[in-house]
Amino acid sequence: MAIEVRNVDKRFDDFVALDDVSITVQDGALTALLGPSGSGKSTLLRIIAGLETPDGGEVLIGGRDVTHSPARTRDVGFVFQHYAPFKHMTVHDNVAFGLSVRKRPKDEIGARVKELLSLVRLDGLAKRYPSQLSGGQLQRMALARALAVQPQVLLLDEPFGALDAQVRAELREWLRRLHDEIHVTTIFVTHDQEEAMEVAQEIVVMNAGRIEQAGPPGELYESPANEFVMSFIGPVNRLGDAFLRPHDIQILPEDDASGEEALVERVVRLGFEVRVELKLHDSREIWAQVTRENAQELELREGQILSVRMPAPRVFAASSGSARPALRA
């Protein structure tokens, strides 16, 4: 179901967590709320779930105004950052919880739990307790528990934050495939731009309680609305007020007169990608991203003098969208 948030404000004492935030999420979409910590992304997610009440504004799920409805009536599945397992219950009882509070018949619950546990690949662990599961297993149990009641909307708060890198990559891929299978409208919160780019169809970039930009990953990368989005999504070189992507910098042999002279300070080889840290003649430092082949052709090494060609850098208006009064003498 589509989700609509209109002009939502939220304060915690003096701290403004959300400042006039509006977003629209299409039915069936997989959306990421991306931002640094304290940007308000988790608060927004909790307001959609009904775990937090906004000070102003409205929340609509499937066209229904749920701003003042309690969480339990919103038909929302929520996966908590630390999974919030019911520690005194088995995996089976955890997953069955939503069905059992709805007083569904026993055999229906049993069948559904079995189906879900196999969906999240936890078959055979039904009788275990949460303390006997690994982080990745807990995560999947929490997901199965949230999906058991067939929610209209699935919300995940930093779903992969507490996992190690390998499990994390695996689960990302798996979440995306799961979404393709069950098509439930999904929003997840993350501070990791790579995770957002990889998993989401739509990204909402948040900063300091406001929305900086929303759109598909490619669009945010290609045409960032402001310097915050530019520097938060993807690597960036900053030259005064100007911004430049490292892969936009072209490295040429030294004798090529069309470029600017530069000194190679360091070469970092990361497999296919090679990072080259350069010092320009006016001693400004930038770094460039080249392919392995390119680096081999140029025989890149430290201390080498090269020529670089830089496209016109991107320059944003002084402030990021919000009207800031100009200083007056």
Residues that bind another protein (CB under 8 A): 49-51, 70-74, 76-78, 80, 82, 84-89, 97-98, 101-102, 129, 131, 145-146, 148-149
- Give me the least distance between CB of 95 and another protein, in Å please: 10
What's the rounded Cα separation, in Å, for the pair 295 and 128? 52
Give the Cα separation of 175 and 187 in Å (integer).
11
**In the complex, minimum distance from the CB of residue 270 to another protein, in angstroms, rounded to a whole number:** 38
Q: Cα angle vertex 91, ends 88, 97, to 5°?
A: 75
Interior CA angle at 134 toward 131 and 136, to 5°?
130
CB of 190 to another protein, least distance (A): 19
Cβ-based nearer residue to another protein, 161 or 259: 161
Tell the smallest beta-carbon distance from residue 213 to another protein (Å): 29
State the nearest-atom distance from the C-beta of 101 to another protein, in Å: 4
What's the rounded Cα separation, in Å, for the pair 221 and 276? 21
How far is Cα 78 from Cα 2, in angstroms, rounded to an integer? Answer: 16
- Least separation in angstroms between CB 104 and another protein: 11
H helices present in 50-147, as ranges: 91-101, 106-119, 135-147
Residue 98 or 246: the one with the smaller Cβ distance to another protein is 98
Name every residue whose Cβ is closer than 8 Å to that of residue 150 and which is 6 or more positions away in sequence: none
Order of all β-strands in the sheet with 260-270: 250-252, 305-309, 260-270, 273-280, 285-291
101 or 315: CB nearest another protein: 101
Indicate the residue type of 308: V
Pairing outcome for strands 260-270 and 285-291: unpaired
- With respect to another protein, which residue has the nearer C-beta, 37 or 131? 131
Cβ nearer to another protein, comparing 82 with 324: 82
Distance, in Å, from the CA atom of 44 to the CA atom of 5, rounded to the nearest integer, reads 9
Least distance (Å) between residue 321 CB and another protein: 33
CB-nearer residue toward another protein: 73 or 291: 73
